[in-house]
Structure 1
Amino acid sequence: METSELHAYLQNNNNGIVNWEALKARLQPKALKINGIPVFMFDLTFDITQKLIDDQLVISIQRPFSSVPMHVHPYIEMVYVYRGQCTVIINDQQIPLSQGGMMLIDKMTPHTVLETTEEDIVVDMKLKHDYLSTGFISRITSKSIISEFLIHSLIDKRKTNQFLHFPLHGVVKTGQIMEQLMCEYFDRGINSHDIINSYLVILFTELIRHIDDLQLSAHSRSTEDSSVVDYLRYIEEHYTDCSLVDMAVYFKFHPNALSAILKRTTGKSFKDLLQLQRLNKAALYLKNTDIPIADIAEEVGYSSLSFFHKKFKEIFNETPSQYRQGTRSYMS
């Protein structure tokens, strides 16, 4: 299926009102209370034609003029507005989504989507495998203190808020990725599973890029929080000879104040962040070059080879030579 055919496919299947009472009688979902909220437990999934399906990834459509009561399910759900708009109610909050917007709803989180019209095409993606788990995220993270900070921040906010909201107003790339993913999903071919998983990696990588646009609470982010990436970028760019004093002068802070901000916003001290960046850079050299280990240690800012070995093993749980051997074996 080409992207030019996807719109017609979604439009042709964007019909058929869901009769909740009939669905309730047929499926007999459990009635629960979560945090005092009456909800139904949905542990079954339906494909775009409303047939029961038991796959790790299921894509369907929110039927226009249909309303399903507040419910939960034991898998992650992504609500994506392909066209038009919708409103998601989650934990007593009404959150509007416009075209291109996405919301990731965590497992067992009470929610529902209000009625849409035939002008709206709202796609539901059920993710039974946790695509925001540490294992999956490890496929995304690069050897960068910025990417690691953003990924950990994303996971922490998901745990705290039980959902992630990506408005993505005017962002074209995520929509294009979703289109390619859906084309592959609705028209399976050889290795479709691997291709779909690859699109998911790309999609979540793009979402991580837009973490600053997350609307996760009514509280606006502080000036300090909004500058964290700038602080980390400075360390990444000056890691070979970076000092807290120089960095504080650059950002017009007292060194103690800057140190406290870094600890509060990242959970790591300046010294820890600097070590991590140096060691991450060393890991890239070990993986991709044949430069002697002693030269790599000096290149990334270590004057003592034994201290470099000690710190590297603390972070990676193996010596630099073991790490180099392991990555070469994996690639061969």
Structure 2
Amino acid sequence: MDVSTLEAKLFTHTISEEWHLNHPGKLSTRYRSIPIITENSQSYYRFSFKSVLKNSNISILKESRFTRIPLHVHSVIEINYIYRGNCSQIINGTRHELHEGDLCILDTNTIHEILPLSENDIIMTIDMRKSYFSAGFLSRLSSQGIVASFLAGAISMNTEKKQCLIFRHHDAKLHLLVQQLLCEYYDKQTGSNEIIDAYMIIIFSELLRLYMNHQENFKKQTDSGSDLLRMLQYIEVNYETITLNSMAQNFSFHPNYISAYLKRNSGKTFKELVIIQRMSKACFYLSNSTTPIYQIAQEIGYNNLGFFYDKFKELYQMTPMEYREKYSSSFSNK
């Protein structure tokens, strides 16, 4: 499928859209079978993706135009991409105006609704199982370090915050990647699932780059504070020799404050963050070199090989050797 064929498909009225044009202001009859939850005097629908995700970890759909999607939650990670036009969403009680090229990542159990879309508003939704987002993304992004791991985990692991991240940068490269993803998804052939997974990794890596280049915009969206990213970057650079005291001295804070701050805002202790960064570096060596595993352990600061193996398996649910076999670059296998 090429882009022109894709766009012809996206702008063609679906059966649902034709129904809503003929029944203005009415919700689809499918809502009769969707459970309603009432909590704190607020009622909302609980969407289930069991059918569409029965045999897949990812689902992509175009949101129906000419109708609203009422307040709802779901147990999947959701990405809304404004392919064309505009979109008004109410997320956790706050109205957000999204425009062409904007992208919103919604955490599980985030209460939100989409106000009616018009003819020229094309909103693409990517729904992913929580396991796909955490295990798949974190393992394959591991070589990018603790900052990448935190940003991925911020959505997939910290469900109590019910948060979202909005990327408001009309990035031509991101748009091209989304187009290629959609072309592959709507015209599946041999190897399509692997290609779709690869596009998702590239898209998320591009989002990570946008995040890093526009940090000030994201500080307003999260409660992690202005120091968190700098602290994570410091750990990422100094992971081999870092101590809590040396980090506290660098930031002119008491060690107890650093420890509590990291735990509160990242969900991880100082020791856990250092371990994650060291393991991230180990993943890079495992997938991009033939360096013996014992030597990799020493390179990242572990003389106790047993401890290294235990922590690695705890993080990635596989041994270092299994990780190497699964993710090693082609040159490493020659």
TM-score by length of 2: 0.72
Q: Distance in 2 between matches of 1:58 and 1:121?
A: 17
1:28 CA displacement: 3.5
Q: Look up the match of 1:49.
A: none
Query: Which residue identity lines up with residue 38 of structure 1 in the other structure?
Result: S
**Mapping of 1:162-201 within 5 angstroms?**
162-201=162-201
Q: Look up the match of 2:307.
A: 311
Does structure 2 conserve the Cα–Cα contact (< 8 Å) formed by 1:68 and 1:113? yes
| CA shift in 2, pair 1:106/1:68, >3 Å | same
Give the structure with higher Rg (CA).
1
Q: Which runs of 5+ in 2 are unaligned?
A: none
1:178 CA displacement: 1.2
Q: Deviations over 1:26-80 (max 9, x none)?
A: 774245233133345555899xxxxx99874444433443234444556554332
| CA shift in 2, pair 1:210/1:39, >3 Å | same
Does structure 2 conserve the Cα–Cα contact (< 8 Å) formed by 1:16 and 1:63? no
SS of residue paired to 1:203: helix
Structure number having the greater helix percentage: 2
**Mapping of 1:81-120 within 5 angstroms?**
81-105=82-106, 110-120=111-121
| CA shift in 2, pair 1:13/1:278, >3 Å | same
How many residues align? The count is 315
Does structure 2 conserve the Cα–Cα contact (< 8 Å) formed by 1:131 and 1:137? no
TM-score by length of 1: 0.73
Does structure 2 conserve the Cα–Cα contact (< 8 Å) formed by 1:78 and 1:125? yes
1:301 CA displacement: 4.1
Does structure 2 conserve the Cα–Cα contact (< 8 Å) formed by 1:282 and 1:296? yes
Q: Which runs of 5+ in 1 are unaligned?
A: 47-51
Q: Deviations over 1:225-266 (max 9, x none)?
A: 323232232233233344555544443445554455444434
Does structure 1 conserve the Cα–Cα contact (< 8 Å) formed by 2:86 and 2:99? yes
| CA shift in 2, pair 1:104/1:29, >3 Å | farther
| CA shift in 2, pair 1:266/1:187, >3 Å | closer
**Mapping of 1:251-262 within 5 angstroms?**
251-255=251-255, 257-262=257-262
RMSD across aligned C-alpha pairs, in angstroms?
4.1
Q: Distance in 2 between matches of 1:90 and 1:130?
A: 20
| CA shift in 2, pair 1:87/1:188, >3 Å | same
Q: Distance in 1 between matches of 2:133 and 2:152?
A: 10
